[in-house]
Structures are given as C-alpha cells and as structure tokens.
Structure 1
Amino acid sequence: MSMQTATLQNKLITLRNNRLFEVFVVSVIIFSALVIGAKTYDISATTLTIISWLDMAITLFFALEIAIRFMAEERKRRFFLNGWNVFDSLIVIISLIPIENSEMALVGRLVRIFRVLRMVSVVPELRELLNSLLSALPKLGYVVLLMFIIFYIYGAFGAILFNQINPVLWGDISISMLTLFRVMTFEDWTDVMYETMEVYPLSWLYFLSFIFLTAFAFLNMVIGIVVSVVEEEHQRMKQETNPEPTITELHHEIVQLRKLLVDRQ
C-alpha cells in the first residue's frame, strides 16, 4: 500500500468514525423518510418533481456514504461479512436502478421505504437493541408456545361453556381464542365477562385466571427475557470494544515493567 493510499484510508477512517458525520447521516435518513411520506399525499406535479430530485440526491449520498465505509475498511472482504453492510448496499443499488416508469416502479418505492432501517445500521445503540431482540427470539418462542397452550385450553372451555350465550364470540375454538386475545388486551373485556356471568355467575373466575396467566405472568416473563438478553448483548459489545487483556498479555507487560526497572537501576 502506497503512502498516498494509506493517508487517504486514514482520512476515510477518521471521517467514518466522526460523530458529526454519523449525526449527518442519521439526519439524511430521517429526511429521506419524510420525503417518502410526502409522496403519499396528493401534491402538485411541480412538488412531485422536486421530491423526485431530492430522492435521487439522497440515494447518491447514501451511495457515497457506503463507498466511504467500504474504502475505510482495512480488509475489504470483511465489509460484506456484515449483514447490515450487505443490506445497506442492496437498498442503495436497487434505489439507483431507474425503474420509476416501468412495471417495477412499485417495487422501487417499497424498497425506498426500507431506507429508514438504515438508521439501525448507522446508530450502534439501535443495532444493539435489534441484535438483542433477535437473540431473545429462541427463548421467547417457548414462552409463545406455552401461551398458545393456555389460549387453546381456555378457548376450548369457552367454546363449550359460552357457545349458547354468544355464538359470535364463542362459536368455535378459533373464535374463542380471538375473543380471549381481546380479553388479554383489556379491550372491553368486562362486557364479555358480565354477559357470561348472567348465565354462569362464577365465570369471573375463568376470566380473571386467564388474565392473570397471560397479561401478568407471561408479560413479565417476556420483559424479563428481553431485559436479560439486552444486558448480555451490552456486555458482549462492551467486551468487543474494550477487550480485557489476556493472561499472556498481562505477563508480557509485567516482564516489560521489570526490564524497565532493571535498566533504570
């Protein structure tokens, strides 16, 4: 690598890691989202033309920003090993394809909507939260499975007991489970309960036990899992940013300090 190339790469690395540059990129992403939203309104042809030019300028800026990040990477192959870099590159490449007046125009507009997700790849804190959510999915899957079992059991009971009271809400097990979801979200659930209590006065036990299991117990389990995974992801990223020295490195530092003390004596 020549001296000029090394100097250029150092400047690009400095620019990529600059906080103001990151804030500017986030601002452009937010502005891009506003431009996309403006297209959904009934606007004049002149305004639409201006918005189209702005959209092209934003796309070119994103292409330049990705080029800066790619050139700043010391090992170019590692750039595409990052899923977010691949995602950003695909979004920009598809946005650059002139398909506005073709059959693929709808696809192009939909792809541009996903440019808002680039904020996740730019802001480390958002990326950490999303990685935590993805890491928590396997554990949350078991909670969802257990919740489905509870829904299924209570739905079967509801379809058998309350079918004659209100077939619209309790006609079969699938409708009963949908009604129970309404109860879990507290959407006028007391109206459903009071209707069944006119025939079964103790049916309040059915609803209160279901709410306790789903809205309280399972919700707290989900929150606990997510908080635990977020903390683990935070510690992992902290170790990657500031890795702790190994025993070999500590031993080497001690030897160097001893050698320095001996030389001074």
Structure 2
Amino acid sequence: MCESESHPCDGEDKRKECDFCKYSSSITQSRWFDAFNMLTVVLDSIFIVHVIDPSQTNFPVFFYIADGFFLSVYLLECVLKVCADPRGYWRSASNVLSAVIVLVSWICWFVNVLSQAVSPKTVIVLRVLLIIRLLKMLPDTYTRAYQAFIAAFLRAMKTAVFLIGLMFVVMMIYAVAGYLFFGDPDTGDPDNWGDIGSALFTLFRLATLDDWTDVQQRLDDLSMEFSCIFTITFILICSFGFLNMIIGVVVTEMANAAEQIQKDIQCERKESVDKKKEIIVQQQKKKIERLLQRQTDDDRRLYFIKEYLHKVEEQDNTTKECLQLFTDMMQILKEELEDRQTDQTQKENSLQN
C-alpha cells in the first residue's frame, strides 16, 4: 500500500517540477527578460563608472544597497536559467563565468557587510567582467561574425608562431649587440641599453616605431658610431619585415573568415528556400493524393491524372536543364568576350608601342 501510494506523489512532484521548468523557460526566453538583464548591466556599469570613487576607503551605505540590488538581479537570472535548463546552462562558458562571478561577489559582499574584511574594489573588479555580456545584445549575424574573427585570429597566430619566434631570435641578437655597444654606464645609454631586459624593451619600441627617433637621438648625442645603421637595419628587418608579414597573415585569415561567413549565410538562405519549397511540394502532393483517393470509381481519370503529373514533373526537369544550359552558354559567351577584349587591348598596346 505504501508503494502504491508513493507513486502518485512522485508523479505529481515530477509534474510540478516540469511545470516549474516550463514556466522558468518561458520567462528566460521572453524578450523583456533579456532587455531587463541588459538594462541592469548597463545601469551597473554606469554606477561603477560614475558613482564609485577609487580614492575612497570607506564606501557609504547607498553603495552596499545598490550593489546588493544588482547582485540580486544577477542571482535571480542565474537561478531562473538553471531551473529552465539545468544541464544546458553549465555547457555554456559565459554562463559558468557569470555564475562564478556572482557567487564570489555575493561572498565578498556578505563578508564586507559583516566585517569589512574585503575591499569593495575587489568586488568591482570582478563585476566589470559581467559587462562582457553586453555582446549578447548584438544580432546573431554580428555574434557569429566576431566569433569567426576570433577563431581566424587564433588560426593566424598559430601560423605566425614561426615568424614570431624568428623575430624574437633577431631581437635577442640585436639586444646583445646593443648592450655591448651602447650599454656602457659611463659612455653609453644605460637607461635604454644597460641590460638585456632594457635592450629588449627598447628594441620593442623600435619595432613598433614608438618614439624611435628619441632613442636614436640619444645615441647621436653620445656620438655612438654606426648607431644609425644599427637602428635602421633593425627597423627594416623587424618592423617592415616580420611585423608586416604577421599582419598580412592575420588580414588574410580575417578575409577568409569574412568570405566563409558570406558563404554560410548564402547556404543558409538557400537551405531555407529549399525547405519552404519542399514543404509546398509536400502539401501539393498530399492534396493530389487525397484527390486520387476520392476518384477510385473512375480508373481512366486516375490514369490520366497520374500521367499528367508525370508529364508535369518531366516538364519541370526539362525547364531546369534548359536553365542550366542557358547559364552555361552565358558563361561561355562571357569568357569569349573577355578573351576578345583582352586580345583587342593587347593589339592596341602593341600598335601604340
């Protein structure tokens, strides 16, 4: 009896839990929920930037009340999303990051309210990371675009590892040479070339062309021989050579990513059109099948309808083949016209020469 009585309770509990999950999902998937969360993030950002004074050591009570309000909204958002999709929520890296930041922020908030052992600035630094969620306000196309660009940048960095390593080797050679030639504390420039670390930092400035004339001017003032040759050759090799090659690799990957995004968008549009077309065709077929089922008393009419549909399908295939043939012919004519135009241009150039 106990077992039989426990089953209805379990089923009722599961049904209530399922209803609560559906209710939570309907809330989290609504537009006003996302809008309210984004508005909270924006107000929190404005609060952090314009209200908080970094020079303060003791914050007023208003700060803790407003901070607790924003943290409550973030916590409510996490709870509703977890209730809506308990497993899927933790599969997203952004959701995990938000949950960890909110949890740590709440712990710091309680500790600070009770004993003020944690500086509110620590909580502020953590909360600034939540502003990243403003990227969710972008449309899906832009979201996919920056994800593709980040992936392209990472691929470019993998390709450019060899160039970066080779550039570092060249910088080490020039750093040792600069330290030996210009690093003397009495007759040289110890501020820029006094040790290997300073020399590497100075060479990084030269590679990025950041006030490189000031570095060279100090060497010229000290009458360092061949210093201009040292500086010019390094800039030509690292700045105009390696850095431009690295930038070229990154730009190439970005261009390929942009082209791939356009192709994906076109494929998705084509698939959407094909699906709609398939749905329309299936609906027409169902209607025709219903008509055929109603005409069971007249075999000749059935035969005529079947033959007619078969001929219509053949006609559609023929039309498609004709369109494809016409496209191929136009492509061939285009290539012939381009060849003739190229030949004519070459003849005119030869006559002018």
TM norm structure 2:
0.56
1:208 and 2:218 matched: no
Moved more, 76-85 or 179-188: 179-188
Q: 1:212 Cα deviation (Å)? A: 3.4
Distance 1:109 1:44 in 2: 9
Q: 1:50 Cα deviation (Å)? A: 0.9
**Counterpart secondary structure, 2:60:** helix
Structure with the larger RCO, 1 or 2 (CA within 8 Å, 6+ apart): 1
1:89 and 2:112 matched: no
Q: 1:226 Cα deviation (Å)? A: 4.7
Correspondence for 2:168: 148
For residues 12-91 of structure 1, the aligned pairs below 5 Å read 12-15=27-30, 18=31, 21-37=33-49, 38-41=51-54, 48-73=60-85, 76-91=86-101
Are the structure 2 counterparts of residues 135 and 72 from structure 1 closer, same or farther at C-alpha, using a change threshold of 3 Å? Answer: farther
**Counterpart secondary structure, 2:180:** helix
**Counterpart secondary structure, 2:111:** coil
CA distances 1:104-149 after superposition (whole Å, capped 9, x unpaired): 513x642442222223235245976478547734743615433322
Structure 2: gaps of 5 or more residues: 1-14, 292-304, 306-353
**Counterpart secondary structure, 1:93:** helix
Structure 1: gaps of 5 or more residues: none
**Counterpart secondary structure, 1:123:** helix
Correspondence for 2:26: 11
Distance 1:179 1:86 in 2: 41
CA contact 2:24–2:80 (8 Å) conserved in 1: no
For residues 111-150 of structure 1, the aligned pairs below 5 Å read 111-124=123-136, 129=146, 132-133=149-150, 136-137=153-154, 139-140=156-157, 142=161, 143-150=163-170
CA contact 1:136–1:225 (8 Å) conserved in 2: no
CA contact 1:26–1:122 (8 Å) conserved in 2: yes
Are the structure 2 counterparts of residues 26 and 14 from structure 1 closer, same or farther at C-alpha, using a change threshold of 3 Å? Answer: closer
CA contact 2:21–2:84 (8 Å) conserved in 1: no
Q: 1:34 Cα deviation (Å)? A: 3.7
1:173 and 2:183 matched: no
Q: 1:29 Cα deviation (Å)? A: 1.9
TM norm structure 1:
0.72
Amino acid in the other structure paired with 1:8: Y
Amino acid in the other structure paired with 1:119: I
Q: 1:224 Cα deviation (Å)? A: 4.5
Are the structure 2 counterparts of residues 193 and 65 from structure 1 closer, same or farther at C-alpha, using a change threshold of 3 Å? Answer: same
CA contact 2:71–2:102 (8 Å) conserved in 1: yes
* Bigger-Rg structure (1/2): 2
Percent identity of the aligned residues?
23
Q: Aligned pairs, how many?
A: 253
Amino acid in the other structure paired with 1:193: Q
Distance 1:146 1:22 in 2: 48
Distance 1:90 1:104 in 2: 20
- Cα-Cα RMSD: 4.1
Q: 1:56 Cα deviation (Å)? A: 0.4
